[in-house]
Chains A and B, each alone.
Chain A
Amino acid sequence: MDKHVIETRQLSLFYGAFQALTNIDLNIGERRITALIGPSGCGKSTLVRVFNRMNDLIEGVSVTGSVVVQGENIYKPDTDLITLRRKVGMVFQRPNPFPLSVYKNITFGLEIHRKGSNVEFPNIVEQSLRNVLLWDDLKDRLEDSAMRLTLEQQQRLCIARVLAMKPQIILMDEPCSALDPIATLKIEELMQQLKKEYTIVIVTHNMQQAARASDFTAFLYLGQVIEYGETKRIFAAPTEKQTEDYITGRFG
């Protein structure tokens, strides 16, 4: 079995009195792509936001159980969120570059963390853009506003912005839902490249995408993990009736 970089034990999450996640036990393997699937409102986006504690921004959220990321329980009171979020990067549903230049978008995180000297910035920018296969397109347009890029380029740029921080884990919350099918395939190819170095957790409402692009799949329903295992197995021979109903399109 793989080495686990994220382990949740009896994880429950409440928005006020509403329980959004119930007793989740999940091990996420290093340098694997793990997909979280399930119908709208099943808690998959909530779950992925547990791993970098972005849920903290919402008022009235409380969490019980433990979430261990690389050996550390991130819900300990003295957890340093800044370090955590540098280690666990996030790509959002809509491409959301800052209205700054391509270059400035990538160096944003570096400047925030005063990581490395400005002398290294050009190298980091180039490396990050190469990793998301944007360098050849954009090397002469580094000073252009990121808002002038295509949506696919913007989403790649957002991934590059995360990579520049040298994270270990990348969370992706429906990263392709604003993109056309061709751009979607290209981002999926990119994910296959990235998993050589990074652990990826992707939330998707698109079952074909989970089947194509992930190594492991967790099916969530009503805040619970119904079934979790290798993607091939989940899609070929689900053991749970609900999983089968969902992936065969009987509900969702």
Chain B
Amino acid sequence: MKVQLQQKIAFSVLFFCTLLVVVPVLLILVIISIKGFSAIDLGFLTEMPTSGMTAGGIFPAILGTLYLVFGAILFAVPLGVLSAIYLVEYSKDNVLSRLVRLAIVNLAGVPSVVYGLFGLGIFVLFLGFGASILSGSLTLGIMILPVIITASREALESVPRSFRIVSFSLGASKWQTIRHSVLPHALPGILTGTILGLGRAAGETAPILFTVAAFYLPRLPQSVFDQTMALPYHLYVISTQVPGIPENIRYGTALVLLLLVLLLNLAAIILRYRFRKRKKW
């Protein structure tokens, strides 16, 4: 009897803790949806803000975030994937490669505000890009680099060794082997990692704070050297810096940002699931 009681208690505690994990996620979704849903219509998504941001839409912030994410990907994916290929396929296990691996792990642990300051120092001031889409994209790109490298490495390492061996035995060179027998099979994993990085880049505030984000701009950015508004920063501004913003606009903005990130993560999950089902080795 005592054993069965213990069993029941253990089960209840574990179940309760697991439930506790789900609750905040649900609450966030529900509260933000309820409070923000009334703000969202086509105009909210496609119009400029008006009357000191107390009315109108958030189009420039959405567009700015898309620009930044796209820029970050443009920079981080080639760099990340190529260095992952080098690390997995070429580098031998020596001091240098261990140092590089260590650096990547540490890069992932750097607080995002530090990336922001780093971007300010390097891109905005030293390289003279100013506060611009270019500086912001590069800063976000560096921030998601570890995500992309790690995902790419795992994807490359999961390609069976036999593919490489067969390819060599058919007379392929090292590069041909990577290009034709390894990369195509690693691509789904790389893509998944890229989308996860994308989601992270879309949601971060600190890295863009000093490098690109504008408080308010009356017109859309015209080039990569322009500042832009961006969703996370815009949310911060209208929630804390400007008095008198209607509640539903604040929560509406949060909801748009949340949906954007959730959608990206969902896309990554679906992609991963589909490819996992397809591959059979």
Contacts and interface: CB of A to CB of B under 8 A. Distances in A.
Interface string A84-127: 11100110101010110000000011011100000000000000
Interface in B226-281: 279-281
Contacts of A82: 171-173
Nearest to B93: A59
B181 interface: yes
B281 A109 contact: no
Nearest to B185: A99
B166 A92 contact: yes
B173 to A, nearest CB: 6
Given A96-B162, A99-B185, A162 B171 contact: no
A161 interface: yes
Nearest to B162: A96
Contact of A92 (B165, B172, B181, B280): B165
A99 B281 CA distance: 8
Nearest to B173: A82
Interface residues of A, number: 27
A25 B171 CA distance: 26
B280 A108 contact: no
B166 A54 contact: no
A202 B167 CA distance: 20
Interface in B89-118: none
Interface residues of B, number: 18
Interface string B158-177: 00001101111111110010
Contacts of B176: 112
Nearest to A164: B170
The binding surface of chain A is classed by DSSP as helix
29 contacts: A54-B165, A54-B169, A57-B165, A82-B172, A82-B173, A85-B168, A85-B170, A89-B169, A89-B170, A90-B169, A92-B162, A92-B166, A94-B162, A96-B162, A98-B163, A98-B166, A98-B181, A99-B185, A99-B280, A108-B170, A112-B170, A112-B171, A145-B280, A147-B280, A147-B281, A158-B166, A161-B170, A165-B170, A165-B171
Given A84-B171, A85-B169, A92-B165, 20 more contacts: A52-B169, A54-B168, A54-B169, A82-B171, A82-B172, A85-B170, A85-B171, A89-B169, A92-B162, A92-B166, A92-B169, A96-B162, A96-B163, A98-B163, A98-B181, A99-B279, A109-B170, A112-B170, A158-B166, A165-B171
Interface of B: 162-163, 165-173, 176, 180-181, 185, 279-281
Q: Nearest 7 CB-CB pairs, A to B?
A: A85-B171, A109-B170, A90-B169, A86-B171, A96-B162, A82-B171, A147-B280
